[in-house]
Amino acid sequence: MANDNKSAHPAAQYDSEVRKVIPYYDAIQTETIDLVRTCAGEPAVWLDTGAGTGALVERALPLFPRTRFVVADPSAAMLGQARQRLGALPEDRVRFLEPTGSDGLSRVAPRLRAQVVTAILCHHYLEPEARRAAVRACFEVLEPGGVLVVFENVECESARGRETGLWRWREFQERQGRTPAAVEQHLARFGTELKPVRIAEHLALLREVGFTSVEVLWRAYLQAGFYAVK
């Protein structure tokens, strides 16, 4: 496992490796951007927490020319990659927070308020109580009517479903040219380093913290997307 962030890849290699392990990685970003446009138009402030190397923000910037993006991640190494990608832009377009997970947002940016918060494939590293704290922190950042978009690894509803899901994920990675040993090492993270949550449990969590409208956005393989309106 990479020692400079919680993903399976060192920050400097993340962009070149992630599409080999996450099916529909680009589609996840596309669905996120389309959902934001539908629900929020062109928001004044969009916080991307767990932003990693800044790839989602880079894609969104030209599509939302009047939006100010705020970039947060717990890994200093990931933020370093994001700064290389986005750091030449003025602060009225991109603001970087000091390293923090979602649960620390109020500490590093106590006055931050946004119309959109995205948390893409980052909260699934958290134990249940830590995930709850992270989602609650995202809720508190949002203005009334604001939208949260979250993508997670998700647990299946049956042992057979889990077996099928893991087998399909194995075949996907092998088609990307990963070695059998590398594939098995990655799949072993599911349920250990990666802490999947059932879809119904995640919907319940979003309602519990106070969101008024909660929906499933997307699902494929062992990943799912959710959106919630405050």
Q: Which of 132, 121, 131, 122 is nearest to 224 (CA)?
A: 121
The domain tally of the chain equals 1
Is 203 contained in some domain?
A: yes
- Rounded percentage of the chain residues whose pLDDT exceeds 70: 99
Residue 32 has pLDDT above 50, yes or no: yes
Contacts 24+ apart (CB under 8 A), 73-77: 73/5, 73/49, 73/99, 73/100, 73/122, 74/5, 74/6, 74/50, 74/99, 74/100, 74/101, 74/104, 75/4, 75/5, 75/6, 75/11, 75/99, 76/4, 77/4, 77/5, 77/10, 77/11, 77/12
123-164 per-position pLDDT tens digit? 999 999 999 999 999 999 999 999 999 999 999 999 999 999
Q: Name the average pLDDT for the chain.
A: 96
Residue 219 has pLDDT above 80, yes or no: yes
Structure confidence at residue 8 (pLDDT): 86
Q: Is residue 176 part of a domain?
A: no
Number of C-beta neighbours around residue 113 at 10 A: 13
pLDDT digits (tens, 9 = 90+) for 179-206: 999 999 999 999 999 999 999 999 999 9
pTM for the whole thing?
A: 0.96
pLDDT, residue 1, reads 45
Backbone torsion region of residue 221, taken as left when φ is above 0, otherwise alpha when ψ lies between -120 and 50, otherwise beta: left
Q: What is the CATH number of the domain that holds 102?
A: 3.40.50.150
Percent of residues, the chain, with pLDDT higher than 90: 94
Q: Is residue 202 part of a domain?
A: yes
Bridge partners for 148 per DSSP: 117, 228
The domain of 72 spans: 11-156+194-229
Is 115 inside a domain boundary? yes
pLDDT of 69-128, one tens digit each? 999 999 999 999 999 999 899 989 999 999 999 999 999 999 999 999 999 999 999 999
